Structure 1
């Protein structure tokens, strides 16, 4: 492979921003209020969280209500599962490196 394909580039761009990954990790399919999410994603400013949510909604990963509640779409749930698998892989690598 000489270069990453466009899909890989989009996925990596999304996940290399820690706020995207942390926001996705703290959402569920059931909508929760903005302030509840704001408390879960520690260290993020209100403006940055709103920006991240808007981007994730544009990518059809997050849905919102008129009362500022946010939840994962079916696509968002799938990506959240993929993130959990990536985390598990990373944890295995770290454990194996420590065992050497």
Structure 2
């Protein structure tokens, strides 16, 4: 099968992962909810408004869940994507090592 263009699903996935704030936010969450300000301190360099925007988008995609007291955690889908990010990082590290 010849791929002539990216599918819509691939484009959505790439858009999500090429935004560093999305990826950094996902990487700094787990299934156990963490307080917003703790997360804000973990994701260095992001403004409060930007983090709220990222979290709203990730919630809309069912990757993140929130509690009434502003704690955020990953859904099962979010945990799976975080694992995929870890695999992508490991692959990148292997490529860099092999190039040396």
TM-score range, shorter chain: over 0.9
User: Match of 2:71?
Assistant: 69
User: Match of 1:56?
Assistant: 58
Q: Distance in 2 between matches of 1:83 and 1:16?
A: 11
TM-score (norm 1): 0.97
Q: Distance in 1 between matches of 2:12 and 2:98?
A: 30
Q: Distance in 1 between matches of 2:99 and 2:43?
A: 29
TM-aligned CA deviation for residue 78 of structure 1? 0.2
TM-aligned CA deviation for residue 84 of structure 1? 0.1
User: Match of 2:11?
Assistant: 9
Note the aligned Cα RMSD (angstroms): 0.3
TM-aligned CA deviation for residue 41 of structure 1? 0.2
Structure 2: which 5+ runs fail to align? Answer: none
| Partner-residue secondary structure (3-state), 1:3 | coil
Deviations 1:1-37 (A, max 9, x none): 1100111000000001000000000000000000000
Structure 1: which 5+ runs fail to align? Answer: none
User: Match of 1:40?
Assistant: 42
